[in-house]
């Protein structure tokens, strides 16, 4: 498999009704998509399997590793039913949420989640319909919560409920999620996105089920996750700044700061971070984005995010290919700005005190000192590629791996161009083949020098201890 994209930040495109056929998905790849997301909130197991098979077929045709991210729905909290379909709540009025299955009225409605009712406490906020209505708990019993309406509005059957102040003492995995996870793991997908993470144990539970068959990306979209960010990021393989639900459960003005904090921290850990939600929202119905959306995408690229994601724009919008192409153009333009390298370098974290991190930092320093265009990293598990990407070098990074699944997982990582090839036989083969791929992929010309990083002995995961400069011969 070969790769020839020059853009560093990666693009994730969500598949859906607007991108359900092979021709459209292939066009999204050609427009710049590196990873495809399958949202299990809207996909059956059969639809998921069909999309995975389609992506793998396109991957074989294009000759380039393509990552697949399966996004679990997570617990969807909703109101019960109203006798008349809905009611208008007025500011200052009382309203009760309880376990009674009787259809609701202007004074009460069922909340069919006993784990929530037992966890609520006075002072807790309850947001309904993406925050359009706000209730404040004044009295709480195990099966009943009395609230006062602080932000009025209409509430109706099955409207979504958000709880920014309440930690729910249950797993982030619902029975549906468990079934979806098992089905996805059978299809050899690459990443699992876990929704509504509250605690590190949520991530640990999914990793125990996955057993390395897929990596786990924690979606940061709840205040509880922000409060325990360090612990969650320590056990996760990657992170998503899911700004949609995060902006519902936290003050909107805090979201940009959280985005920057998460991006910086993920980079310090050397783990991929994705910025998602409403990046080009207007392109659901318009062939061009707003100026503010362009600036929003550019900000994520300037921050050094590993990937930026399209949701409804590519899944259900009228212009899926144009949305991917627009995001691609914005990213290329930002990375071409003269100020881009200095901004990326200003965010650089000190290397960890390990031999592998020292080699990765040295590779970046040597490449920049000698003006070398490419660093070739032999990586069995992907860790060498991740360490070098963490340094955000100005050089391109070729990640040479004998493992197809590793190449696909690295498709989400900043600056990495994964190539599947047999493991190096010896140090001479290591250098010669790195030079050959650098030449074939167009990253270096004959007579130019490149840096080759590897672990010796070959085939040993997590061992990065060898750096050398090699000269590309005429091919």
- The catalytic residues are 37, 78, 219, 277
360 within 8 A of 395, measured Cβ to Cβ = no
Q: Is 251 helix (H, G, I), strand (E, B) or coil?
A: coil
Residue 185 CA: distances (Å) to CA of 20, 306, 320, 420: 21, 24, 27, 22
DSSP 132-184: TEEEEEEEEETTEEEEEEEE-EEEETT-BEE-TT---SS-S--HHHHHHHHHH
Which of 140, 127, 138, 133 has its CA nearest to residue 94? 138
Reading phi first (left if > 0) and then psi (alpha if -120 to 50, else beta), residue 415 is in left
Hey, how many other C-beta atoms are within 10 angstroms of the C-beta on 457? Answer: 10
For helices 45-62 and 175-186, angle between their N-to-C axes, nearest 10 degrees: 30
For helices 291-302 and 320-336, angle between their N-to-C axes, nearest 10 degrees: 50
């Amino acid at each position: 498999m070969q790769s020839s994209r020059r853009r560093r930040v990666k693009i994730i495109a969500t598949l859906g009704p607007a991108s359900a056929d092979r021709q459209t998905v292939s066009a999204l790849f050609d427009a710049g998509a590196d990873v495809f997301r399958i949202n299990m909130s809207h996909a059956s197991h059969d639809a998921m399997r069909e999309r995975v098979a389609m992506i793998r077929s396109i991957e074989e045709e294009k000759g380039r590793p393509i990552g697949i991210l399966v996004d679990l729905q997570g617990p969807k909290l909703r109101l019960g039913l109203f006798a008349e379909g809905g009611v208008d709540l007025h500011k200052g009025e009382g309203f009760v949420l309880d376990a009674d299955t009787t259809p609701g009225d202007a004074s009460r409605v069922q909340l069919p989640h006993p784990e929530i009712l037992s966890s609520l406490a006075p002072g807790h906020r309850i947001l309904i319909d993406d925050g359009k209505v706000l209730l404040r708990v004044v009295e709480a019993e195990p099966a009943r919560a009395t609230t006062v309406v602080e932000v009025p509005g209409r509430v109706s059957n099955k409207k979504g409920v958000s709880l920014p102040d309440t930690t729910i003492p249950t797993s982030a995995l619902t029975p549906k999620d468990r079934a979806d996870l098992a089905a996805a793991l059978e299809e050899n997908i690459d990443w699992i996105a876990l929704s509504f993470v509250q605690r590190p144990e949520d991530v640990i539970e999914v990793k125990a089920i996955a057993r390395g068959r897929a990596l786990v990306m924690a979606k940061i979209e709840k205040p509880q996750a922000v409060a325990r960010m360090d612990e969650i990021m320590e056990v996760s393989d990657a992170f998503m700044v899911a700004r949609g639900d995060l902006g519902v459960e936290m003050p909107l003005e805090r979201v940009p700061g959280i985005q920057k904090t998460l991006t910086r921290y993920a980079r310090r850990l050397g783990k991929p971070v994705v910025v998602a939600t409403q990046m080009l929202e207007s392109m659901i119905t318009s062939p061009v984005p707003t100026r503010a959306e362009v600036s929003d995408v550019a900000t994520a690229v300037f921050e050094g995010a590993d990937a930026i994601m399209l949701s409804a724009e590519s899944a259900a919008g009228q212009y899926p290919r144009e949305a991917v192409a627009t995001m691609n153009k914005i990213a290329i333009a930002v990375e071409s700005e003269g100020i881009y390298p200095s901004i990326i370098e200003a965010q650089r974290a000190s290397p960890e005190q390990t031999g592998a991190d020292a080699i990765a930092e040295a590779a970046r320093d040597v490449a920049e000192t000698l003006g070398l265009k490419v660093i070739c990293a032999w990586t069995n598990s992907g860790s060498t590629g991740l360490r070098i990407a963490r340094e955000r070098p100005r050089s391109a990074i070729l990640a040479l791996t004998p493992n197809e699944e590793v190449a696909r997982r690295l498709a989400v990582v900043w600056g990495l161009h994964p190539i599947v090839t047999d493991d190096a036989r010896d140090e001479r083969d290591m250098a010669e083949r790195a030079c050959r791929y650098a030449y074939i992929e167009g990253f270096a010309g004959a007579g130019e020098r490149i840096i080759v990083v590897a672990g010796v002995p070959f085939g040993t995961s997590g061992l990065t201890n060898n750096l050398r400069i090699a000269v590309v011969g005429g091919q």
